[in-house]
């Protein structure tokens, strides 16, 4: 559009209220209902991109399912002279990006409040199966009453051009992008939580966790860099809030919080703990008649066993009763395990402080080590070692296999750190180079190439004592990839069957039935590198159908 329009669809335009790379926003009034709306017009050039129309329709349909006081409501969408637009709730306020520019940084209490409200929006979206993908300060509005409104759900995906998705490109904004998105991998709810962590970091410190002269430099830092802890920039930040932000910015998604609900509950605890610590400090001060020593009570995190256990179990029960049943089912086990086991204060297990019997401590640690790999394994390993130290005759044989698992996990983590250094210095040995090559093939979705490298490498390293540790890593990676390939073969078989059915439906004249299959394939697997042949086939079907 060369000039601002006077009308878009049924909306009379009164003024332009914003513009950016993802379109222009106007203030409009509906000609019939007189409802005020923010009307976003997408760039006309986008309609010519292959797959754009399908993505636009798919994301708009998803947005219609959202209903939350902290998510800007979608009214309607349509086209006007080949221009795509959608009308949404108009919010009289400012974006957090504008707020940061004006205030530089926000008080921590306000940051916590904004975080809790944003969690409400994310939980609603995630329960509906919708990922934002581009959470950032400019997508968060704040009203004069202090109400947070999240906007632009799914718009990043609409702008994932065919060129990007065909090459495993990234979707999102560099300064607030998760490492997995930076790698071109599929975004998940943990990706949104990482972005929220970056937003909270920016609100409390006045700058994003990573910056650079180019987007590629910033993206590289998200994947491999280490940010400055917020307390180095803002010494007054409560330690509890700093711990939460740092956990949100973990490189590995599984190390972040399990969902937005648990995160919101932890943010609520920050305020309570600060208030409690301040109250304790005041009550510990001596009265005028006191002659004894003054006891200073530090407002540092005190995750005492009984209090923390009560908080976590209470939060979990509340979450299971209050959230979507599917989300509750999938998140139940990890949080309950966390509640029962990993309540740590000053490096000691909660259950050791409460003097649980050794058998129960073993079962709690075993429960973690039989689950998915995470940093919790390191703590569980320490508990296993403590059992041996206390009673080696009873526990040595039973604990030994689990300690081997922990040692292997440590070795794999070390390899991961070396992989990041390799970008600058190169591998320290030929077996290490080949392991890194295999891992790179795996991350790119080429499981066959990864298997080929690992199978040859483990054959060469077998019974070589100099590389026993690396051989063990190779064998475990080979086993994991074998399981992934089996699962991938099942997925490929399903997709081939579905796409063949779409071809038959199109041939029989059922274009809508074929279209729904193609859209479903893209909805589920568009960002899966290993499945590009099938998503490309779906895109081609949609492209041919639109002509």
Q: List, as residue ranges, the binding site for ATP.
A: 40
> Rounded to whole angstroms, how far apart are CA atoms 383 and 40?
56
Q: 44 to each of 81, 209, 437, 474, how far by Cα in Å? A: 10, 34, 42, 50
Work out the angle at residue 194's Cα, subtended by the Cα atoms of residues 174 and 338, and round it to the nearest 5 degrees.
165
CB 28 within 8 A of CB 12: yes
Task: Tell me whether residue 192 is one of the annotated catalytic residues.
Answer: no
Beta bridge partners of 13: 28
Name 382's Cβ contacts closer than 8 Å, sequence gap at least 6. none
Quote the tokens at residue 255.
């190390």
Name 513's Cβ contacts closer than 8 Å, sequence gap at least 6. 502, 505
Q: 208 to each of 214, 263, 409, how far by Cα in Å? A: 14, 20, 32
Number of residues that make up the chain: 547
CB 215 within 8 A of CB 174: yes
Catalogue the long-range contacts made by 511-520 (C-beta closer than 8 Å, 24 or more residues apart): 511/545, 514/541, 514/545, 515/541, 515/542, 515/545, 518/54, 518/542, 518/545, 519/54, 519/57, 519/58
Quote the tokens at residue 175.
């300064």
Please pick, among 134, 152, 192, 311, the residue that the annotation labels catalytic: 134
- Alpha carbons within 13 angstroms on the beta-carbon side of residue 375 total 9
The dihedrals phi and psi of 512, each to the nearest 5 degrees, come to -65, -40
**Considering only CA atoms, which of 88, 95, 92 is closest in space to residue 38?**
88
Q: 405 to each of 48, 57, 276, 372, 388, how far by Cα in Å? A: 53, 47, 40, 12, 16
Catalytically active residues, by annotation: 134
């Amino acid at each position: 559009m060369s000039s601002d329009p006077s009308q878009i669809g049924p909306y009379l335009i009164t003024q332009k209220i914003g513009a950016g790379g993802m379109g222009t926003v106007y203030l409009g009034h509906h000609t019939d209902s007189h409802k005020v709306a923010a009307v976003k017009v997408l760039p006309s050039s986008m309609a010519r991109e292959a797959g754009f129309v399908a993505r636009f329709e798919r994301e708009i349909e998803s947005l219609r399912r959202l209903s939350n006081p902290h998510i800007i409501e979608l009214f309607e969408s349509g086209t006007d002279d080949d221009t795509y637009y959608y009308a949404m709730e108009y919010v009289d306020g400012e974006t957090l990006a504008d707020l940061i520019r004006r205030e530089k940084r926000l008080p921590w209490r306000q940051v916590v409040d904004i975080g809790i409200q944003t969690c409400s929006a994310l939980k609603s979206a995630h329960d509906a199966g919708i990922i934002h993908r581009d959470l950032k300060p400019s997508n968060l509005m704040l009203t004069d009453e202090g109400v947070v409104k999240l906007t632009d759900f799914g718009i990043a995906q609409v702008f994932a051009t065919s060129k990007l998705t065909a090459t495993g490109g990234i979707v999102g904004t560099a300064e607030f992008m998760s490492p997995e998105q930076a790698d071109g991998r599929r975004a998940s709810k943990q990706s949104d939580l990482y972005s929220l962590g970056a937003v909270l970091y920016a609100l409390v410190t006045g700058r994003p966790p990573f910056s650079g002269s180019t987007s590629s430099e910033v993206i590289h830092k998200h994947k491999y860099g280490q940010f400055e802890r917020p307390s180095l920039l803002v010494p007054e930040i409560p330690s509890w809030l700093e711990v939460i932000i740092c956990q949100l910015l973990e490189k590995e998604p599984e190390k972040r919080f399990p969902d937005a609900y648990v995160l919101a509950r932890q943010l609520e605890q920050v305020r309570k703990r600060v208030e409690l610590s301040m109250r304790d400090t005041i009550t510990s001060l001596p009265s005028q008649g006191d002659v004894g020593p003054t006891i200073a009570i530090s407002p540092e995190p005190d995750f005492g066993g009984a209090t923390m256990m009560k908080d976590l179990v209470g939060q979990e029960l509340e979450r299971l009763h209050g959230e979507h049943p599917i989300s509750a089912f999938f998140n139940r086990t990890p949080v309950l395990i966390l509640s029962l086991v990993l309540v740590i204060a000053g490096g000691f297990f909660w259950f050791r402080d409460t003097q649980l019997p050794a058998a129960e401590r073993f079962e709690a640690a075993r429960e973690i080590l039989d689950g998915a790999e995470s940093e919790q394994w390191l703590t569980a390993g320490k508990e296993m070692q403590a059992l041996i130290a206390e009673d080696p005759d009873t526990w040595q044989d039973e604990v030994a296999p689990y300690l081997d698992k922990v040692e292997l996990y440590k070795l794999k983590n070390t390899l991961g750190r070396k992989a990041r250094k390799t970008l600058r210095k190169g591998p320290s040995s030929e077996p290490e180079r080949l392991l890194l090559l295999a891992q790179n093939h795996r991350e790119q979705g080429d499981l066959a190439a990864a298997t080929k490298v690992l199978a040859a490498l483990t054959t060469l390293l077998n019974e070589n004592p100099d590389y026993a540790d690396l051989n063990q890593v190779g064998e475990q990676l080979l086993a994991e990839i074998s399981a992934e390939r089996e699962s991938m073969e099942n997925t490929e078989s399903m997709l081939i069957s579905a796409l063949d059915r779409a071809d038959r439906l199109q041939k029989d004249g059922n274009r809508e039935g074929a279209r729904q299959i193609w859209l479903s394939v893209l909805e589920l697997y568009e960002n899966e590198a290993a499945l590009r042949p099938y998503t490309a086939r779906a895109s081609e079907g949609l492209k041919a159908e639109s002509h």
